[in-house]
Structure 1
Amino acid sequence: MSIRSAWSGVARLFAHAWPAVLSVSALFLAWELYVRQSGISPTALSAPSRVLVQGYQQREALALHTLATLQATLFGFSCSLGAAFLFSLLLDFFRPLQRAVFPVLVITQTLPLVAIAPLVVLWFGFGLMPKIVLVALVTFFPMLVALVQGYDSTDRDIESLLASMGASRWRIFMAARLPSALPYFFAGLRISITYAVVGAIFAEYAGAVRGLGIYILNAKNNFRPDLVLAAVFVSAALTLCLFGTTVLLQRLAMPWARLGARER
């Protein structure tokens, strides 16, 4: 039964993934054919095959810079996640605070990342801290909004039932409001994790010793579009891996949602 379940899971995964794989493969094939047939200079546009070869030759340097970006991404995202959860608790238990603070948080999201990154580096130096701060700033708001909206989606009848049974406000939160917020939370988590990599790379653009951002900047200054694209592919792969991790965490944290989808 377990082997049959494993095969059925692989079959479902293939059924969901093959359209995306086919479209991406077609895009890369068209790109490769265009570069080969048009005779465009490799310094203007490199073929995917050249990008892969050069990326493989630079794999040690790419791995070193990728680890630096991943470290900043995970540290910053962890700080943002903890702060968003704690702040969402305050906003949920003290509703006047939500009306007072939310407009300020919305204003912070209108500030361009390109303008913030140099200031953060100027304030915190060229180490790991500015990248952590920038990643946290970029990812904090989507997770906070998702959590607050999730709390508000709780069924009022369930809350009234728990209250009539003598449950405290904290108990109602843990038993009803927090589980109701999980789908919203993971939706915000998937959005934020993609922003986290972008935030880390922007911080490295503004000033860093290692990271994919500084690698891309150096490759651009050396007129190496193949290495620029290789780093872009690595950052895209990193983002997809982190995104897939959030999907896996959601399945582990919400097994009932998967069962409901199977019944439908």
Structure 2
Amino acid sequence: MKVWTQDISPRTRHISFPNPSRVPKDELSRCYYKLSRVRTIICEGLGSSASEEFFLETCISRFKHLRVLWLRGSSFDILPSSIGGLKHLRCLSLTDNCNIKELPKSVCELRNLQYLDLGRCEELKELPANIKNMINLRVLFITTKQQRFPERGIGCLTSLRWLFIAECENLEALFDDIQSLTSLRKLLIGGCPKLASLPQGIKNLKALEVLMIGGCKSLKLPEGESNEPRSMSRLQSFMIGGLSEIVSFTPQTQQE
């Protein structure tokens, strides 16, 4: 608690809150009032109590120039809709939130966001409908309860470099416009037991360097794709495991 009674420089840009639920609201308010240049907020394990909800809402409404909002391992069930006002935000991590069921529509107004981590958000029903508007996303981690991803959603994120799809227990299909991800370098698909097939366009990901697939026991890889001359010419690492439907797999070297 001593940290809250000390002077905090108005020039402070990066703050980590170890346990905001124990700090009285008036102390938080005095702290916020002094600060206007904060660029990073790190608060892991944020809960759903009234004081913690007040903390999150105040951070979002007060610090309009945030670049990083790191809320790993939290358990709140509502992300304030005011999140859409953080026009400068580059990084948003909600990973390991076991309670959040949906994201506010306003999250898709974060046009400058480059890193979005929704990994292990096991109760998240679906991605926001207008995720296609997040045109500067470069890294995306996904865990949802949906059966398939809509067309003209993730496929519109042409700046995407890394895509991680994991622990999606109900996922049966990806998205057919995956070939539109012309900048994608790393694709990881894991722990999706109902995923039956991959979209045909995956073989046209010419920038792809790493492909990892594991724990998808229903997945069948299409035959003959290794013979395609245009198949993933920059691929450096291909790892598969836990695919019980695959009896054998013989990769072929692309001919020059």
What TM bracket, shorter-length normalisation? Answer: under 0.3
Bigger radius of gyration among the two: 1
Which one has a larger percent strand, Structure 1 or Structure 2?
A: 2
Which one has a larger percent helix, Structure 1 or Structure 2?
A: 1
- Relative to the length of structure 2, the TM-score reads 0.20
- Relative to the length of structure 1, the TM-score reads 0.19
